[in-house]
Amino acid sequence: MKKIDYLLAGVGGQGTILASRILASAGLELGYDVKTAEVHGMAQRGGSVESHVRWGEKVYSPLVEHGMADYLIGFEMVETARWLTYLNNNSVTFINRFRIPPLLVTLGKARYPSEKEIENLLQSRGGEVRWLNADDMAKDAGNPAMAGVVLLGALSNLVGGGQEIWLQVIKRLVPARFVEMNQKAFLAGRGAGPG
Amino acid sequence: MKELMTGNEALAYGAYLSGVRVGASYPGTPGTQIMEKFASFPGVHAEWAPNEKVALDVGIGAAFAGTRALVSMKHVGLNVAADSLFYAVYTGLNAGLLIACADDPGMHSSQNEQDNRNYAKFARAPMLEPSDSEEAKQFAATALEMSETFDTPVIVRFVTRTSHSSSVVDVDPDAVPPPATEHKPYKREIGKFVMVPGNARRRHPVVEERIGKLREYAETTPLNRIEPGNDDWGIVASGAVYQYAREVFPEATFLRLGMVYPLPEKLIREFAGRVKKILVIEELDPFFEEQFRLLGIPVAGKDVFPIVGEFSPALIRQAAIKAGILPAAVSGFSAAPALDIPVRPPILCSGCGHRGMFTVLKEAGVVVMGDIGCYTLGAASPLEALHFCGCMGASIGVAHGMDKGGIPDRLVAVIGDSTFFHSGLHPLINTLYNQGKTTTIIADNGTTSMTGHQDHPGTGRTLQKQPTVKVDLERMVRGLGFNKVDVCDPNEMDDFRKILEDHLKSDEASVIIARRPCVLQSRERRTPPRIDPELCTNCGTCLEIGCPPLVQQEDCVSINEAMCTGCGLCVQVCPADAIRQEAK
Task: Kindly tell me the burial class for residue B379, based on how many C-beta atoms sit within 10 Å of its own C-beta (0-12, 13-18, 19 or more).
Answer: middle
Name the H helices within B229-298: 239-248, 265-274, 287-294
Position B562 scores a pLDDT of 83
E strand or H helix at B232, and its extent? strand B230-237
Hey, is the C-beta of A174 within 8 angstroms of any chain B C-beta?
no
Tell me whether residues A103 and B546 touch, CB distance under 8 A. Answer: yes
Q: How far apart are CA B111 and CA B107, in angstroms?
A: 7
State the nearest Cα–Cα gap between B547 and chain A, in angstroms: 8
Secondary structure (H, E, C), B117-154: HHHHHHHCCCEECCCCHHHHHHHHHHHHHHHHHHCCCE
CATH 3.40.50.970 domain residues, chain B = 2-220, 353-522
B194 Cβ contact list (under 8 Å, min separation 6): none
Cβ under 8 Å to A: B residues 142-181: 160-161, 164-168
Position A22 scores a pLDDT of 97
Each residue's pLDDT tens digit, A44-69: 678 899 999 999 999 999 999 989 99
Neighbours of B141 (CB within 10 A): 17
Position A39 scores a pLDDT of 81
Q: Among partner residues B382, B450, B543, which is closest to A42 by beta-carbon distance?
A: B450
Q: How far apart are CA A34 and CA A1, in angstroms?
A: 12
User: Angle at Cα B457 formed by Cα B359 and Cα B114, nearest 5°?
Assistant: 70
Q: Do residues A54 and A66 make contact, with C-beta atoms less than 8 angstroms apart? A: no
- Which among B388, B404, B414, B474 is positioned nearest to B437, based on CA atoms? B404
Percent of chain B with pLDDT strictly greater than 70: 98
What letter would DSSP give residue B302? T
Q: Among partner residues B341, B349, B450, which is closest to A41 by beta-carbon distance?
A: B450
Tell me whether residues B313 and A61 touch, CB distance under 8 A. Answer: yes
CATH of B2-220, one of 3.40.50.970, 3.30.70.260, 3.30.930.10, 3.40.640.10: 3.40.50.970
pLDDT at residue B338 tops 70: no
Give the number of residues written for chain A: 195
DSSP chain A: ---EEEEEEEETTSSHHHHHHHHHHHHHHTT-EEEEE---GGGGTTSEEEEEEEEESS---SSPPTT--SEEEESSHHHHHHTGGG--TT-EEEEE------HHHHTTSS-PPPHHHHHHHHHTTTSEEEEE-HHHHHHHHT-GGGHHHHHHHHHHHHH---HHHHHHHHHHHS-GGGHHHHHHHHHHHHHH---
- Which among A61, A69, A75, A65 is positioned nearest to A18, based on CA atoms? A75
Q: How far apart are CA A127 and CA A89, in angstroms?
A: 4
Q: How far apart are CA A82 and CA A75, in angstroms?
A: 12
Cβ under 8 Å to B: A residues 103-132: 103-108, 110-113, 117, 121, 124-125
State the nearest Cα–Cα gap between A182 and chain B, in angstroms: 20
Q: How far apart are CA B279 and CA B298, in angstroms?
A: 9
Q: How far apart are CA B2 and CA B9, in angstroms?
A: 14
pLDDT at residue B335 tops 60: no
Mean pLDDT, residues B59-77:
97
Mean pLDDT, residues A136-143:
94
Backbone torsions φ then ψ of A60, nearest 5 degrees: -95, -75
Q: Which amino acid is at B276?
A: K
Position B24 scores a pLDDT of 98
Q: How far apart are CA B145 and CA B407, in angstroms?
A: 54
Position B584 scores a pLDDT of 66
CATH architecture of the domain covering B353-522: 3-Layer(aba) Sandwich (3.40)
Each residue's pLDDT tens digit, B510-553: 999 999 999 999 988 999 999 999 999 999 999 999 999 998 88
Q: Among partner residues A33, A88, A103, which is closest to B168 by beta-carbon distance?
A: A33
Position B308 scores a pLDDT of 98
CATH number of B224-322: 3.40.50.920
Segment among A122-126, B267-271, B437-441 with least mean pLDDT? A122-126
User: In chain A, where are the structural domains located?
Assistant: 4-192
Mean pLDDT, residues B329-336:
57
Hey, is the C-beta of B190 within 8 angstroms of any chain A C-beta?
no
Q: For chain B, how big is the Rg over CA atoms in Å?
A: 27
Segment among B97-111, B283-297, B333-347 with least mean pLDDT? B333-347
Interface test with B, best of A6, A8, A60, A76 (most B CBs within 10 A): A60
Q: Please determine, looking at this structure, whether the domain spanning B530-580 carries the CATH number 3.40.50.1100.
A: no
Each residue's pLDDT tens digit, B554-581: 899 999 888 899 999 999 999 999 999 9
**A195 confidence band (pLDDT: 50, 70, 90):** very low
pTM: 0.96
**A194 confidence band (pLDDT: 50, 70, 90):** low
**B333 confidence band (pLDDT: 50, 70, 90):** low
**B330 confidence band (pLDDT: 50, 70, 90):** low
**B183 confidence band (pLDDT: 50, 70, 90):** confident
User: Is the dihedral angle over the CA atoms B407, B412, B416, B417 positive or is it negative?
Assistant: positive
Position B45 scores a pLDDT of 98
Q: How far apart are CA A60 and CA A154, in angstroms?
A: 27
pLDDT at residue A74 tops 50: yes
State the nearest Cα–Cα gap between B109 and chain A, in angstroms: 5
Q: Do residues A102 and B343 make contact, with C-beta atoms less than 8 angstroms apart? A: yes
User: Angle at Cα B131 formed by Cα B126 and Cα B134, nearest 5°?
Assistant: 100
ipTM, 2 dp: 0.95
pLDDT at residue A156 tops 80: yes
Segment among A123-127, B95-99, B361-365 with least mean pLDDT? A123-127
Neighbours of A12 (CB within 10 A): 22
The SS3 assignment for B537 reads: coil
Each residue's pLDDT tens digit, A92-135: 999 999 999 999 888 888 999 999 999 999 998 889 999 999 99
Averaged pLDDT score across all residues of chain B: 95
Q: How far apart are CA B231 and CA B162, in angstroms?
A: 28
Q: How far apart are CA B14 and CA B30, in angstroms?
A: 18
Q: Please determine, looking at this structure, whether the domain spanning A4-192 carries the CATH number 3.40.920.10.
A: yes
Hey, is the C-beta of A173 within 8 angstroms of any chain B C-beta?
no
pLDDT at residue B261 tops 70: yes
DSSP B322-364: HTTSSPPPSS-PPPPPP---------PPTT-HHHHHHHHHHHH
